[in-house]
Structure 1
Amino acid sequence: MIEPAVSARSFSLTVAGRVLQMPCDVVGSGPDALLLPALSSISARAEMRPLAKDLGHEFRCLIPDWPGFGNQARAPLPMNPDTMHAFLDALFVEKPGPYALAIAAGHAAPYLVAAARRHPGLFGRIVLVAPTWRGPLPTAMGPERRGLFTALRRAVELPLVGDALYRINISRPVIRMMMRAHVYADPDHVTPGIIADKQAVTRQIGARFGTAAFVTGGLDPYETREAFLSLFEGPGLPPILVLRPERAPRRSGAEMDALIATGRVSRESVPGALSAHEEYPGEVGEAIRAWG
């Protein structure tokens, strides 16, 4: 089978009072689908390309980068949930849909579902791959240390000192350890080439600001599990499928299971960990087709 074509385009979006040129990939042909990459220090739209190529014979997949993330220099913006919500709203002004399918990975999941609340009828179906709502430090250490997280974020944002602190934590050994611990399920998949690609993402100008916000919980759109789950209550949302990776980290997996237990979403298991869509795109694509 011929692989779907990949092209690049750019949207001029006004977000937080700034005009941004936001790059997007377009893959395949058919009804429009929106694919949102995760929010993390190593995330970029490239992580969604394998899944888009798998789905590209059935959908025209649009893959944007998030502001403050991706494989390009980052414009200075407030790194907070309001900016991320505003970005999606601005994107839908330029590319209003409707979208037959929308897919969000990781921390993009609550932003996508919130957008579906604000824009009824925009999405035909929603797929959440390893959905999360709480950043790494609040997940690992608990919300009661929020003051410490704020101090750490401010330290990383400082000129010179902050950049030095950031670079210590994006070395190849650190990225390899992180990916083997909870991003990929199979350590053999964490190749030197993949580590180099991920490190290139972290070394873009201004990258430390988005990373510092995400890691410390500054991009968490909700402060409690109850608030996150309430997003799924009531009518008005399209059908939602949660793809629960078999090797998701214990704490993140517990949050996925809590969402599934509400009965407000469908559930399918897929191999992988937090980046199942990137590590096992064929299996994730097949689960989406089987559901639809």
Structure 2
Amino acid sequence: MNAIAPPLNPTNPAGIGGTPHEFVWNWKQQAHTVVYETLGQGSPVLLLPAFSTVSTRSEMRGLAERLSTQFQVWAMDWLGFGESDRPSIDYRSAVYHQLLQDFVRSQFDTPVAVIAAGHAAGYVMQLASMQPAVWSKIVLVAPTWRGPLPTMGANQQVAGVVRETVRSPLLGQALYKLNTVPSFLNLMYRRHVYTNIEKLTPEFIQQKYRITQRPGARFAPAAFVTGTLDPAQNRDEFLQNFQSLSVPLMLVISEQAPPGSKAEMEVIAAQPNVQSQRLPGSLGLHEEYAAEVAAIALPFLTTN
């Protein structure tokens, strides 16, 4: 493993309770700061949060705390999300394919285990297909590959109009604000993310709301919601990354996921060489049921 970059302020509560660091990444001749965090000692395990309006490495905290008893956990904020830079670039799937490839290559000298939630799964699997020796083991938690608007049936033209509207200076900021007020976040969590609504306390929702209020916060989420960050254009393209897979893979299916998303998880489970287990929960399974996910992941990661 390469030397870790100098630590940032370790008292920041927005992470997983470890030591934050900066990875300076160059994209199209522009330098951007990507924040990641380490916790524990031992062999590394990389945690990749799901893409969403409130995406942040802190959603991996419960999982990180449990895994750090046996591993050194690494958790990253994707560019445009969390505490990483949020530049107004043209966010596309190519950005994240390259970011993940560059981050892993620069930080790890040997194959590393990875746990990916939501859309992060598609980026992990594409890299696995291109460079099988990058990963030692893969855990996919409630994986997705299609953004909210395409899932609801919006075509590319409609999605593109929405994306550019949200990116616009005045109307876009107003539209983004409507979709990130605490009441709307609460509604979305009840519908698609959490199954136990008692966990959606005012403090929890306020914490999520603060994530949405950083400068430049609307650009990457707008790309995600409209499908611009989808790691594949269709199911066949997504499933190609599972063909001839040589890396052990565990799939954790969320039983209460939206029907369309769960159907895609079932298709993955039917692929050769994919182990799968099921847990209660929806698209926020990795955060809401962190203890249960860890109970599946730990034996898988520690078995030769």
- Pairwise TM-score range, normalised by the shorter structure: over 0.9
- Per the TM alignment, residue 73 of structure 1 is displaced from its structure 2 partner at its CA by 4.9
Letter in 2 for 1:50: G
Instruction: Give the CA RMSD over aligned residues.
Output: 1.6
Give me the TM-score of the superposition, normalised by structure 1. Answer: 0.94
| 5+ long unaligned stretches in structure 2 | 1-15
Runs of 4+ aligned structure 1 residues displaced above 6 Å come to: none
Inter-partner Cα distance in structure 1 for 2:114 and 2:235: 23
- Per the TM alignment, residue 18 of structure 1 is displaced from its structure 2 partner at its CA by 1.6
Inter-partner Cα distance in structure 2 for 1:197 and 1:99: 35
| 5+ long unaligned stretches in structure 1 | none
Inter-partner Cα distance in structure 2 for 1:35 and 1:258: 23
Bigger mean CA deviation after superposition, 166-175 or 110-119: 110-119
Letter in 1 for 2:23: F
2:296 to 284, 287, 292: 287
- Per the TM alignment, residue 185 of structure 1 is displaced from its structure 2 partner at its CA by 1.1
CA separation of 1:97 and 1:186: change in aligned 2, threshold 3 A: farther
Inter-partner Cα distance in structure 2 for 1:90 and 1:78: 19
2:285 to 246, 267, 276: 276
Inter-partner Cα distance in structure 1 for 2:59 and 2:109: 23
Inter-partner Cα distance in structure 2 for 1:87 and 1:178: 28
Match of 2:7 in 1: none
CA contact 2:44–2:72 (8 Å) conserved in 1: yes
Inter-partner Cα distance in structure 2 for 1:202 and 1:131: 23
Inter-partner Cα distance in structure 2 for 1:66 and 1:108: 9
Q: Secondary structure at the match of 1:241?
A: strand
Inter-partner Cα distance in structure 2 for 1:190 and 1:71: 22
CA separation of 1:72 and 1:14: change in aligned 2, threshold 3 A: closer
Identity of paired residues, percent? 37
CA separation of 1:195 and 1:97: change in aligned 2, threshold 3 A: farther
- Per the TM alignment, residue 161 of structure 1 is displaced from its structure 2 partner at its CA by 1.1
Letter in 2 for 1:90: D
Bigger mean CA deviation after superposition, 179-188 or 256-265: 256-265
Letter in 2 for 1:230: Q
1:101-120 map, 5 Å: 101-120=113-132
Inter-partner Cα distance in structure 1 for 2:256 and 2:207: 23
1:228-267 map, 5 Å: 228-235=238-245, 237-267=246-276
Match of 2:228 in 1: 218
Inter-partner Cα distance in structure 1 for 2:196 and 2:55: 18
Q: Secondary structure at the match of 1:179?
A: helix
Letter in 1 for 2:179: N
Match of 1:22 in 2: 34
Inter-partner Cα distance in structure 1 for 2:203 and 2:126: 35
Match of 1:75 in 2: 87
- Per the TM alignment, residue 258 of structure 1 is displaced from its structure 2 partner at its CA by 0.9
CA separation of 1:41 and 1:198: change in aligned 2, threshold 3 A: same
1:57 aligns with 2:69: yes
Match of 2:55 in 1: 43
Give me the TM-score of the superposition, normalised by structure 2. Answer: 0.90
- Per the TM alignment, residue 123 of structure 1 is displaced from its structure 2 partner at its CA by 1.5
Inter-partner Cα distance in structure 1 for 2:218 and 2:257: 25
CA separation of 1:99 and 1:32: change in aligned 2, threshold 3 A: farther
CA contact 1:270–1:287 (8 Å) conserved in 2: no
CA separation of 1:157 and 1:46: change in aligned 2, threshold 3 A: same
1:176 aligns with 2:186: yes
Inter-partner Cα distance in structure 1 for 2:190 and 2:229: 24
CA contact 2:33–2:85 (8 Å) conserved in 1: no
Inter-partner Cα distance in structure 2 for 1:77 and 1:96: 27
Inter-partner Cα distance in structure 1 for 2:48 and 2:111: 13
